[in-house]
Structures are given as C-alpha cells and as structure tokens.
Structure 1
Amino acid sequence: MSDITADDSQYKRYLLKKNLEVLKNKSGFHTALISLMIPPTRKVFDVISYLKKEIGESSNIKSKGNRKNVIDSITALIGQLRNIKEIPPNGLIMYSGQIPEDNKPGTERSELYIIEPPEPITNFKYYCASEFLLDPLYNMVEEKGTYGIINIENKEAAIGWVKGSHLEIAKTLTSGVHSKHNAGGQSQRRLERLIEEGAQAFYKRVGEISNQIFLEIDDLEGIFISGAGMAKEKFVKKGVLDYRLQDKILDFVDVSYSGEAGIRETVIKIQDKLQNLRYVQEKKIFNRFMEEISKDSDMAIYGEKEVRKALETGAVDILILSEGLNKSRVTITCEQCGYEEVYTIDPQDILNFTEKYRITHCPKCNSTSFQVSKEIDIIEDLGKIAEIQGTHVKIFSTETEEGTMLISTFGGIAALLRYKLSF
C-alpha cells in the first residue's frame, strides 16, 4: 500500500483552491493587506523579529488610517506566530488584512488566513498591497509535469499526453499502407518496396505532428514510444522527431493495442515509472478498492454514513473523495439550550434549510430558536477528521473513468480500511 499512500498533496491542493476562491475577492485600501511567505528553514523567532521591524517602519506611513490598518495586520500575524512552535515541512503562507465592507472606509474588519502549501516555499517574502499576493498559490494549484505518448504501427498511430489526472488523445492517424500481399517475383519485391516507402512517409507525418504537439508543451517531462512490433524503433531511428524531443524519449513500451486503445494500454504499462502522477495514483487506488468490493472482503466501504463512522473510529487507511462532491456539513444550534444537530445538504439548499429550522421546535427545550452555527465543505470536514486519525486523503478528479465511477456509483465517498469493522 505504501506506493499509493505516500502523500496527501491532492487534498492540500483542493484546500488551496477553496482558499483561492475566497482570497481572490479580498481587497482593501492602500497597503493594508499583508502576504507572508515563510520557507521551512526560517525560524519562527526570526520571522517575528522581522515583523516587529516592519511595525517600526510602518510608523512612517503618512495616512493615519492606513498606518493603523497596516500595524493591526502585522500585529495579528505576530500574535498567530507566537502560537506556532515551528514552521511546517513545506513552509507557511499567511495573509492578514483589514477588509472593508462594501469598500467603505471605516468599516474595516481584521481577517487572517493561514495555509500549509502542498509544495515547499523556497524564499521568504513579505508583501504589502491593496490585494493579497496569490500568484504563488495559483502556481501550486497547477498540476506539474506532462508525459507524451506516441503509439505507432505501420497502419495507424496515436499521439497523446497525460498530466495530473487528465489523459488527452491529441491525434489519431492512419497510413493506408497494406501489410499483406499475395504477389510473387518482381511484383512481390515492388510491393514490399512500396509498403516500406509508405511506412517511411507515415513515420515522417507522425513525427511532424508529434513535433507540433509536444514542442508547445512547456512542462514536458518525457516521451514514451509504444507499439506491438518494431515500428516504434524504426520510427525513432528515422530521426523525424525534433532533436529536443529525441532527448526526452524515456523508453520503448510493448503493447498489444494500437491507436487510442494503445495509448491507454501504454499508460497502464508505464504506471510504475510514473508513481506520483495523479492519473496513475487514481487508477491504482480505485482498482484496489474495486478488488476489495468484488471479494466482499469488508476492507472497502462507501457512503457518507458508513465512511464517517469508520473514519471516526480510526479504521480508515485511505479516504477516497471526489472533487465533484458539492455538499456542506451544516450544524444547527438551539440558542436557548445549546442542543445541536448536524446535517449534510446541498449548498444551494442552505436558505430553505435555515428557514425550515427557524420554526422547528427544539426536542430538548421545545423553543424555536435554531440557528445555523457552522457550515463547512464536506471534503474539508471529512479531511479534518482524517488528519486527526492519521488517515491518508485522496481526492479524485471527475475527468477520469475511475473518478466518474466513484461519484456516479459510490456517491463520491469511499474508503479502504486498516482492519475489518465489527459494526
């Protein structure tokens, strides 16, 4: 299991996307919004000392209102840092600012956001502006590394690439070259020559199109050449690939299928070489999940109620969630006696849900004082429980066959267990 549970970077990227949706709409006046990027090598004490110096520098700001807002934002950062013993392994990103309501002066409210990034921060950065510095976050959200695949035989070829959870079939081609003939003598030699000339022309055409496709990909990590026979070696020997792509050829892969099916088979064959690729990870995890389900081993479960119960007992090894889940975990609280109930609902139903419970009698004190006291995205809610239990979290995209099946067949919530449950 270790090869598929190495990291929870996709869960962190999911949380990062959620934070970006909030942060991109935040703005303030002058330089009252502060962005702080802290690498893991930086000591908390050193960061606090730096911020104290910035408070001193901020006293020179001419505008009294802006000066107060900047100092308040820095002070909030210092207060939070004092509660942190050490910087996490990937560093820390902090945003602090005085955010006005409806862009009106005098209505500013202090807001603070703390993010553990999915990738290491390399440089310390302190930035003041009327908006938060979000470019580093956008870069982290993007999937890194593209791998090209050329599947080729004498009669047909396919060109594609895989990045993150996405497999793209960019082009399929046919050569029109005949592979068999019944002629003999000189006619046989002539036909063989024509077949070979047709194959060479086809290799050239495939090479030209491959050059057009792959040279446009900035983060191309490598290319795999696949096929059933010797055509793949002949294609490369022909030298039709641009020299920059020749240097990126990683391996030849023997496959049974050609065309689009050949590309998909190639991905399966090379998965051990691409352990960290999201597309490969999802296939491995889902195949393991389906294997346990088909064996009726009781080591795989699905459905929110079942998974949540197993998660809270610490029985879940890998929590599998679909990024297509659009659910909120809502807590309603009786303001009279503190009685609480928790529900999972669609976000668009929040208003109707709230109105319904405003006139609902509390089963404990019989008052009609229910209010929504908490609302959290269900992935984040389950993810927090997983972090407490030391459970790995895998977020499936909705672009793959496995991701589509996860949400359509299993409701988008599933799990692989550490041990069998007795309930």
Structure 2
Amino acid sequence: MHTSELGDHIGMESCVDLETDTEPLQSCPSKAIARKPWGTTSSRKSSMCAKKMKNLPPPLPIQSSTVMKRYYTNDGRLVITEEKVESPKYHFNAIRADGRLTLQLVEPYEPKMVREGVVEVEEVNLVTMSDTEETDENIEIWKMKKRIKELESARGNGTSMVSLIIPPNDQISRVTKLLREEYGTASNIKSRVNRQSVQGAITSAQQRLKLYSKVPPNGLVLYTGTIVTDDGKERKVTEDFEPFKPIRTNVYLCDNRFHTEALNALLESGEKFGFIVMDGNGALFGTLSGNSKETLHKFTVDLPKKHGRGGQSALRFGRLRMEKRHNYVRKTAELATQFFVNPATSQPNVFGLILAGCADFKTELSQSDMFDKRLKEKILKVVDVSYGGEHGFNQAIELSCEYLDNVKFIQEKRLLGKYFEEMSNDTDKYVFSVDNTLKALEMGAVEVLILWENHDMNRYTLKNKTSGEIIVKHLNKEQESDKSNFRDRETNAELEVEEKISLLDWFVNEYKKFGCTLEFVTNKSELGSQFCRGIGGIGGILRYQWEAVASVRDQAIDPSLKSPNIARWTVQHVI
C-alpha cells in the first residue's frame, strides 16, 4: 500500500527548489531582527536561520513491499493473501536551460503485483509436445532427415562424389589448400573418366567455397559430384548448407556415395537411456533416444522351475537351479557392460539405466557384485512389468515416463494418445485425411497439425489448357502414374502441371498462416504405426467441435486399428 501518491510530486525534486538567491529571508525567532553587514555574528545567524526555514521538496513517497489482498473462492470462502509489490524504479531526466541544471522525476511504471505462494494455472485444453521454438527445431530436424535420405540414395560411378564437412572453428583457407593438393593427387588416377569426374567434383567444391569468407557459426557441409539417375543418366549435383546445430566433425572423402554419418549423429537429440528387461525366459537390451527406440540384443534361457520332487536328490536339483539362475544373471551383467559401456572411454554411453522384468531377476542384477559399478550409478529406476521381450520393453518405457519427459518418443506418444482419446470419446474435435484437414485449416479450427514425417504425397497445381482454370490435386505415387488424374473429368481436356511440391513441404511453408502448431510423428511406436497406417499419416486436433467431422465418418478406416491399448476406441467410433 502507498503512503502517498507519487504522481502528485513529479518534478518537485528539481534543483529549482534549492535556489536561495532570489528567495526572501523569512523572519526567524532569533534576537537579530534587522539586517546587518555580512561577516557580523548576527548576519551569520540570520543566514543560518534562513537556511533552516527554506521550503524543501517533500520526500519521495514510500511504498510498502507487500499488500494484503482479498479473494473469494467458488464456495464463498474469504481468502486473504499477502502479495508482493514490485517497487518502481525512479528515473530522472536532466534538463539544462539558461545555464541551470534541472532534474525531473519521470513517471514510473505502474507497479506490478506478483502473488507469492499462489500459482495461477491456466486451463490447458491440449498438451502439445513443444512450444514455438521447439516446433521450429523439429521442422529443421525433419528437413535434415529428408536431405540425408536424398543424399544417401544417390550413387555415382567410381569415386566421383566428394563429401566435405568443415567444423565451425576451421578456416576456409586451410580447406582450399587441401582441395588444391587433392586435385593434384587426383591427376594420378589411371581411369580417364574417373579422373575427370573426381577433378570436376573438386573444382566444383573449390568454386562453391569461394562464396564463403568464413565458416558459418554451425559449420559448413558440402556435397558435390556426378550421380547416376534412375534412368541411367549422369547428373552433376552440388549441395552446401549450414547444419541446424554445430557440427564437430572434420570430413573429406571421395567415394561412390555421399557420407552422412556425421549428420546422422546430429539427429540423435537428447540423452540416451538404456533398458534391461529380464524374465524367466530371457533378457532384452535396448536404448531410447529422441524418437528412436532400438533393440540392441536379446537372448533366451531355459531355467528349471521350483518343484518338491526328487527325494534325496531334491537338494541337488535346488543347487542346479540356483546355479543356472546365477549364470543367467552373470551373462546379463556381462552383456550390459558390453552394450552400455564405451570401450574407448571406459565410461557409460547412456544417460540413465532402467531395469525391468518379472520376479526378482532385476533386483538380483542390481544388487549383484557382477554388475558393473559404473552402470550401478546410472540406474534410475527398477520397475515391474507383466511381460518380457518387446512388450516388456514398451511397458517399461511407459512406467518410466517421469524420467523420460524430454524424450521425443514419450512426447510423441502423449500427443497421439490425446488424438486417439478425442476419437474414442467421439468429441468431433479431431480430423483426418488430406481434404478434411485442409478444410479445417482454412476455417482456422486446427490447433495441432500432425504429420507423418515420411508421407510421400505431392501437391500439384494444374491448369486447364482449354478454360484456364486452376486445379489443385494431392496425389500419391500410385495416383501419379494414372494419366486420368491429369485430365479434366468433364471435358477430358489436358491439365498442365504449373507447380509440383511435396505436401509436407507445403505444410511446413504454410502452417503458420493457419494459426496452428505443427508436429511430426514417426511410425516407430505402436500409436505412431496406427496413425500412419490407419489414419493416413495426416490429421489434427481441433480447437472446437466441427460438424463436418460427423459427416465424414463413413470413410473407410483400417479395421486392424483395433487395439486394447487405446481406451474405448473401436472402429464403431470412427465408422
């Protein structure tokens, strides 16, 4: 609470108020009443008295650090909380006029209330995988994956394809010198065709490097060479770009393919988590990193069961059973060291380790002296699962979500879980198929646009040669081979291709205009496979109910989408 209003005193602290030359002396209760020459005792006393009686500007207003605020809850209860008030910062403006300096207070910003101990939570209608910045990063990752896929599919004759990767701290001059030396070395190649191809690729790399005065902040990647197309023709390609994050690898290779191993390493975002799933039938070793789940190794065992038979040999049978269990735990511990410890650095290659399984095998492993101490320190959680093998691996991931919040695999499952939940509850707040998704986008109804990262549909802008009408079609590989799609159905007039672009590229370029967020998913998870195979790989979650959703339920949906893992979701909810 404020003891005074600051706005009433703006400008009162200027130096004008401190002037005494023109101010008349006030009468003071001292004995000296008449003015006397300066230097006398009475005149000095009068001057001191005048200074004491001068009108000083008022002090700065005092603002308390907290205020008491009243709130009423929904049930009518009165709640009084102490709220902190951010103190305004005083700003002075200096004005010099007629040889005099004047300081004036600037109107402070309006104090902002900050509630202490009270967290106001907005109602969130949807849990998305990322905010705007993370969405942009996901798009960059998708573009990199697409580019890597195109580069890996390219093949050439001989060693005419140059792969050049320059880290950020390198110099263009050093790389240029290296290419000059390699050009001279390439002159020793006996095959004339291969020699000319290699020298031509090196020359193209030299010409492209002239466009750069220095290495970009994230490094420079350059691929150039002569590739062989599908129809057997040779085509010269040159591609240079700056990766979306710094690359620390220095690569120069001439081969019959482009080397993209360093770029694939950039895509391994986030930490890597290791999983060991043990049960009475065998063990599984796997890793989870980003949106990639990988099974490293699995083996089976045949352990004897407990029984009360055997007579005098019952104790011997028990010892044999315990011996086999011991050997099983020892083998698992040895393989864990082999897969989760880097032999080059002698350090674990995983950020954390999750032990899962049935019975007490996982507990025995975690407490065993045979288990590597370096891996014991990485154990995050020990979970009980109902299955072994791949099903146990999936269940262990679900039970360890609190440690895997930043893993994109978990974020993808949550997003698709939300999508299928809307579908199972029949809320009409979901959309699927290309045409319906585009209609919902045009209406601004889509909140989250979900796309399969490997969708192969293209967007064609066609022009009717007869009428000049512009037609937009979305065709997949099979539909592109059907020539009837490039003719008008009514007049049979030929449709000329004005523009051809990948549908995913079009969505990436245009999604911001529709006010939605964009998320890419894979088919590596169970829900992702159902979305890509059954829904078609394109869909979205809506902001509000859309009546058009109900009108398209008669579209065919893959019956194999029935899954017990999706609560109350059957084909009847969709068809």
TM-score with structure 1 setting the length? 0.68
Cα 1:134–1:369 shift into 2, 3 Å: same
**Contact 2:277–2:388, Cα closer than 8 Å, also in 1:** no
Equivalent of residue 306 in structure 2, options 170, 178, 195: 178
Q: How far apart, CA to CA, are the structure 1 residues paired with 2:278 and 2:449? A: 35
Would you say 1:404 and 2:529 are equivalent positions?
yes
Relative to its length, the structure with more helix (as a share) is: 1
Count of aligned positions: 395
Structure whose CA Rg is larger: 2
Shift of 1:304: 1.6
Secondary structure, counterpart of 1:23 in structure 2 = helix
**Contact 2:460–2:475, Cα closer than 8 Å, also in 1:** yes
Q: How far apart, CA to CA, are the structure 1 residues paired with 2:475 and 2:360? A: 56
Partner of residue 418, structure 2 = 288
Cα 1:174–1:289 shift into 2, 3 Å: farther
Cα 1:113–1:305 shift into 2, 3 Å: farther
Q: How far apart, CA to CA, are the structure 1 residues paired with 2:257 and 2:373? A: 41
Partner of residue 325, structure 2 = 202
Secondary structure, counterpart of 1:20 in structure 2 = helix
Q: How far apart, CA to CA, are the structure 1 residues paired with 2:146 and 2:336? A: 32
Shift of 1:347: 1.4
Partner of residue 53, structure 2 = none
Equivalent of residue 344 in structure 1, options 456, 474, 483: 474
CA deviation digits over 1:179-209, x for unaligned, max 9? 8x7x9xxx9xx97997587346414313304
Shift of 1:109: 7.1
Q: How far apart, CA to CA, are the structure 2 residues paired with 1:70 and 1:234? A: 59
Cα 1:72–1:240 shift into 2, 3 Å: closer
Structure 1: any 5+ residue segments left out of the alignment? Answer: none
CA deviation digits over 1:338-396, x for unaligned, max 9? 6432222221442333x653x548x9xx8945333433333333333346667232221
Partner of residue 380, structure 2 = 251
The amino acid across from 1:259 in the alignment is G
Partner of residue 262, structure 2 = 136
Secondary structure, counterpart of 2:519 in structure 1 = strand
**Contact 1:203–1:238, Cα closer than 8 Å, also in 2:** no
Equivalent of residue 392 in structure 1, options 498, 513, 518: 518
Partner of residue 416, structure 1 = 541
Partner of residue 211, structure 1 = 334
The amino acid across from 1:404 in the alignment is S
Partner of residue 355, structure 2 = 225
Q: How far apart, CA to CA, are the structure 1 residues paired with 2:385 and 2:157? A: 60
Secondary structure, counterpart of 1:215 in structure 2 = helix
**Contact 1:292–1:299, Cα closer than 8 Å, also in 2:** yes
TM-score with structure 2 setting the length? 0.53
Q: How far apart, CA to CA, are the structure 2 residues paired with 1:356 and 1:92? A: 42
Secondary structure, counterpart of 1:235 in structure 2 = helix
Secondary structure, counterpart of 2:497 in structure 1 = strand
Structure 1 range deviating more: 5-14 or 160-169: 5-14
Cα 1:262–1:338 shift into 2, 3 Å: same
Q: How far apart, CA to CA, are the structure 2 residues paired with 1:340 and 1:371? A: 9
> Highest relative contact order (Cα 8 Å, sep 6+), 1 or 2?
1
Cα 1:229–1:110 shift into 2, 3 Å: closer
Q: How far apart, CA to CA, are the structure 1 residues paired with 2:255 and 2:383? A: 55
Q: How far apart, CA to CA, are the structure 2 residues paired with 1:121 and 1:225? A: 33
For 1:307-322, list aligned pairs within 5 A. 307-311=437-441, 316-322=446-452
Partner of residue 267, structure 1 = 397
Structure 2: any 5+ residue segments left out of the alignment? Answer: 1-126, 188-194, 343-348, 549-575
CA deviation digits over 1:245-272, x for unaligned, max 9? 6446413423252534544322211122
Cα 1:18–1:272 shift into 2, 3 Å: same
Partner of residue 376, structure 1 = 501
